[in-house]
Amino acid sequence: MNVLNMEFDTPYNSAPFSNIKITDFLPAFKTALAESKKKIIAIVSNPEPPNFKNTVEALEFSSLRLDRISSLFFNLNAAETNDAIQKIAQEVSPLLTAHSNDVALNKSLFERLKIVYNRLENLNLTTEQKTLLEKKYKGFVRNGANLNPNDKKRLRKIDKKLSVSKLTFGEHLLAETNKFRLEINKTSHLEGLPENLIAAAKLLGEKEEKKGWVFTLDYPSYVPFMTYAKNRTLRKKMAIAFEKKGFQKDSLDNQELLLKIAKLRHIRANLLGYKTHADYVLEERMAKSPETVLGFLEDLKAKALSVAQSEYKELSAFAKKLDGVETLQKWDSAYYSEKLKKKRFDIDDELLKPFFKLENVLEGAFAIAKKLFQIQFIKTTEVDTYNEEVMVYKVKDEKGKLVALFYADFFPRSGKRAGAWMTSFKPQYQLEGQQHRPHVSIVCNFTKPTKKSPSLLTFNEVTTLFHEFGHALHGMLANTNYPSLSGTNVAWDFVELPSQLMENWCYEKEALELFARHYESSEVIPMQWIENIKAVGRFQQGMQTLRQLSFGLLDMSWHGQDPSSIKDIKAHEKNVFKSLQLFPDIKENCMSTAFAHIFQGGYSSGYYSYKWAEVLEADAFAYFKKSQVFDTEIASKLKTHILSQGGIENPEVLYKRFRGKKASNKALLERAGLQ
């Protein structure tokens, strides 16, 4: 009996993780693929004339089971993977790509869709239905429906190669992260490191049967090590190891894979009639074109460069005065920035961390969501999870009605990829009069509790939690009819608006008082520290902005031109970074070979969207600040016009409906001190 082939007889139709065997997935995928194919055949062979319900809606709901199994499987592959799961991923990804192509290149299906699309103006459709029809039609065209038979075959081959190559790229990065260990056996080499980090390193050492302390490239180990370790040689060793992932000419090298992915994307775009992959991608984004993106990035660069250079000079002078450092290197940046921040603002992460116990911060996020959107989070043990560390909450509205299930997975494991992300196990939609509520998850890599202390977050980790929680709210508060338009299924340069907007409450007195309490004494964080935290929000914003812009420009350099002439990845990077470079280059390191956002994830030609959305969120939060940060009327507008609407309408229209005007970059520039 394969539980994946049946309706889940579980609380809230939640995933029965404990009853799913890894060996269930491949046969379940094959069964669901066959089921989806039957539904496509039924649409095509329907003797009734094509209409919105029997063609567009039928297509939208033709792969519900397949999509559910895919979401469960690939979320496990990201958060709880192993060799067996990775092997299945390599086998099933081409099958899914082939099925996707079968649908997108089905001539008869496209003809039915085209008949409905050509009658669009004469149909009495809602705004959401019009959007669904337009997206379905464009999706077919953008995925080869108008190609000749030979070119359709070429497209299939390209997509199959891309699906496998992107998977392998990510597997290499995970393997690189897991294999590196910095083992320290001298107590003197621990100087400067926080006690909880030392304790965690000792625990890992004991677990791995090592005599000393073990540090890794996982963020909760790497970031504080680079921030506090006094030993410059060891910081250098860690930094080089972190930055050379996929760039070591070994079995885990990503250079050939990277070039292959970039070239295949370009060939695919050309095949579909686009100049570059960026032209193809951006047609469906707010920015619309590579020229707009580059203009946006260059405009911010012009405003940030001189500020960043001034900040770098200041940091260099500080490091030289403090420790005689002649040339400030990348492995010095976090260390001396933290010391300068402490000197200037009389505050540092180690002072703040006791006030940011993980459980308290999470409860604070819940309390803020309740104040803004009238929802509450109730912890439950009746919902199954894929790991004992994962917590689940029922989310209910003010009437006690279920809004969503919320999963939270906070600590690093060998089977979990680095970073932080929001995802879902089940989308929100309505079908046959029944409302299906979403199952949303946030996955992070925070410091684990030790024998001596609970999980205490750095302020950066606090904002990370709020960031992912903002994405989660976007998913949980969705109220649309169709899964492909629900929640975070919006333009990539709009999707970061709710997440980045939520970070703002981390800096506000009224919000911090809800959760920033000392984990031992329950003392509220001192008010002067709150003011300092706000000031810290502007600290080194020139350098931070330049860093984000460099990533956006690197992305566009791979996808906004023909990459076939690029032979030397490192040389290409240096050329892109030369006008933004502050720190000396490190010959052993390469950014592109570990740039998972664009070569494994969905951010190709879209990394600029973080800054694009930052303009939107700064403008949006300025709206709250004009009144008060817990203005329920403004929050209601945010929920009604943005969070609940998913992708049912043009994001510019949704934003203007919320804000009453188009977004301006004024608030962002003022906040960052770049005005």
- Of all helices (H) and strands (E), which one includes residue 330? helix 330-345
What are the beta bridge partners of residue 402? Answer: 396
**Which two structure tokens, joined as six digits, stand for 638?**
């945010």
**Angle value at C-alpha 240, between 237 and 244, nearest 5 degrees:** 145
Give me the sign of the Cα torsion angle 212, 218, 220, 224: positive
Catalytic member of 468, 508, 573, 614 = 468
| Rounded alpha-carbon distances, angstroms, from residue 249 to 116, 244, 246, 580 | 53, 10, 8, 27
CA dihedral 571, 574, 575, 577 (to 10 degrees): 160
| 468 included as an active-site residue | yes
What are the beta bridge partners of residue 431? Answer: 434
Pairing mode of beta strands 429-431, 434-436 = antiparallel
CB 628 within 8 A of CB 511: no
**Which two structure tokens, joined as six digits, stand for 210?**
């090592």
Picking from 92, 78, 68, the residue whose alpha carbon sits closest to that of residue 20 is 68
Q: What is the DSSP letter of 251?
A: T
Q: Which residues contact 327 (CB under 8 A, 6 or more apart)?
A: 316, 584
Q: Which residues contact 45 (CB under 8 A, 6 or more apart)?
A: none
- Of all helices (H) and strands (E), which one includes residue 222? helix 219-228
CB 265 within 8 A of CB 605: no
Residues 377 and 396: their CA atoms lie apart, in Å, by 7
**Which two structure tokens, joined as six digits, stand for 418?**
């680095």
Residues belonging to the chain: 675
- Three-state secondary-structure class, residue 245: coil
DSSP secondary structure string for all residues of 430-492: EETTEEE--EEEEE--PPPP-SS---B--HHHHHHHHHHHHHHHHHHT---S-GGGSTT-S-H
Task: Give the phi and the psi of residue 422 in degrees, each rounded to 5.
Answer: -110, 145
What's the burial of 207, exposed, middle or buried (CB within 10 Å: 0-12/13-18/19+)? exposed
**404-441 per-residue burial string, b: 16 or more CB within 10 A, e: under 16:** bbbbbbbbbbebbbbebbbbbbbbbbeeeeeeebbbbb
Residues 409 and 414: their CA atoms lie apart, in Å, by 14
For residue 487, the number of C-alpha atoms closer than 13 Å in the C-beta half-sphere is 26
Q: What is the DSSP letter of 510?
A: H
| Rounded alpha-carbon distances, angstroms, from residue 413 to 74, 124, 207, 448 | 16, 52, 13, 10
The beta-strand segments (E) located in 355-453 are 375-380, 391-397, 402-409, 421-426, 429-431, 434-436, 439-443
CB 383 within 8 A of CB 402: no
- Which spans in 105-208 are helix H? 107-118, 127-142, 149-179, 195-207
DSSP secondary structure string for all residues of 578-615: TTT--SPP-TT--SGGG-HHHHTSS-TTTTTHHHHHHH
What's the burial of 396, exposed, middle or buried (CB within 10 Å: 0-12/13-18/19+)? middle
* Residues belonging to the active site: 468
